[in-house]
Amino acid sequence: MSTLISPAELAELLDGERPVRLLDVRWRLDQPEGRPAYLDGHLPGAVYVDLDTELAERTDPSQGRHPLPSRERLQDAARRWGIDQGDLVVAYDDLHSVAAARAWWVLTRSGVPARVLDGGLRGWLTEGLPLSAGDVQPRRGDVELAEITEGVVGIDDVGEWPWRGILLDVRAPERYRGEGDSLDPVSGHIPGAVNLPTAVHTAAGRFRSPEEIRAAFAGAGVVGTAPVAAYCGSGIAATHTALAGSIAGIDVRVYPGSWSQWSRARGREVARGEHAVGHVSRL
């Protein structure tokens, strides 16, 4: 099954017989509460997803700002969204599919067939397709989720990763270099990580072609069969890189704790500046 779905393809599916559950995952660092915008207008039938409380487990700061939700928490949320066993799920947002990628990643890793609306809300509107206002509260679903065990790496794995494969830091270059303000205790990057900002994988809100994405990965040293892992600030944008990798046929594992966990862990090294020439210190 393809990872992405176009607005036209989705509109056709919604007119068909197979159940499709739409998830509105509007979230961003400067505006984490997307419900007001959702209530103003969303894809017909879409359910609002709260990324902070339903796609993350916000209990232990030492695990980072957005650690993965437990199977129980995610399953309860998925049932609230109305997902039944066998339903096709399509997630979207209004900013380059970064938040939607988080929903796609946790659901597919939990055994639920999910896709991302390429172009998101803006792509839907560009096609002249309709919106609905107000809240959608579907009948509770019966989906059964599996524990997330594949495609994920932990803090100890990441500490060894640059010497076993390619570790990608997918944040903006200035955050990778350790410049400017940080949401975390210290700024910088994991030693050995290569910067590949997740923003390079999209243009005008849509994903680039598989060939263009593969070229971007190759520019960061992702060639051959070496394992690849990605991290970001708190584990959200890294799933967008995993989504881009899926489009291009590249398996990208995700470090959910990301920099927000690494920067809080005692004894971990921190690098600043450009890759291979930066300064390294220990927390």
Sign of CA dihedral 31, 35, 39, 41: positive
What is the SS3 assignment for 121?
helix
Q: Angle at Cα 82 formed by Cα 69 and Cα 114, nearest 5°? A: 65
Active site residues: 232
Read off the amino acid at residue 216: A
- Residue 14 class from Cβ within 10 Å (0-12 exposed, 13-18 middle, 19+ buried)? middle
Rounded to whole angstroms, how far apart are CA atoms 14 and 3? 17
Euclidean distance between the first and final Cα of the chain, in Å?
44
Q: Which residue is associated with the tokens 């849509």?
A: 206
CB 71 within 8 A of CB 146: yes
CB 193 within 8 A of CB 275: yes
